[in-house]
Amino acid sequence: MHTITPKTTPVARAARLRALAAATAATAVCLTAVAGCGTNGSSSSDASASAKASAKAAATPAAAVTVKDPWVKATDSAMTGVFGTLVNTTGSKVTVVSATSTAAKKTELHEVADVDGKMVMRPKEGGFTVPARGTHQLQPGADHLMLMGLAKEVKPGDEVTVTLTFADGRSLRFTAVAKAFAGGKENYSPGMKKG
């Protein structure tokens, strides 16, 4: 049997190329979305489970936590505080369990608490918990990060790098700008040393 192939005109060839490009783009969108095309023999429920797992992974705590308006108190002493607002955009609470800074030998999570009628600064047991879709304030006279054993004086305008570590093991690095601040002269809990 002999088949006759019709001649392809430039217009027909261009139309075929456009159709092929559209099909390729649709396939790419389907594969990227993961959420329900069910290609390669997978069921739509498998694709839906994959989409949910991907959404959960994308919403891991540290990935969606930011620090708004971070700043550090300028000082010529061996220690200082870091402040700002922790912002959690996820649907789950997150907990900061530790911190480090390139500017200090040691960084601690601190709180200011009433001990026998006196306001004292001490390590924060359990870390800083930021509620789902909420914030947690780090401020003088309350929760804050304490940089201890500073390598050098922190002058207004200096930048200090801080890394927060979350309960799930993830971390968040941010930069705090130093500014002059006269407050925040809390006492230390018994047993705590400056520097």
Mean pLDDT of each 10-residue bin along the chain, 195 residues long? 46 51 38 35 42 40 81 95 96 96 96 91 95 97 96 96 96 96 56 46
CATH topology of domain 61-188: Immunoglobulin-like (2.60.40)
Q: What is the reported pTM?
A: 0.63
pLDDT of residue 9: 53
Burial class (CB in 10 A: 0-12, 13-18, 19+), 43: exposed
Range(s) of the chain covered by CATH 2.60.40.1890: 61-188
pLDDT of the residue at 15: 52
pLDDT at 64: 83
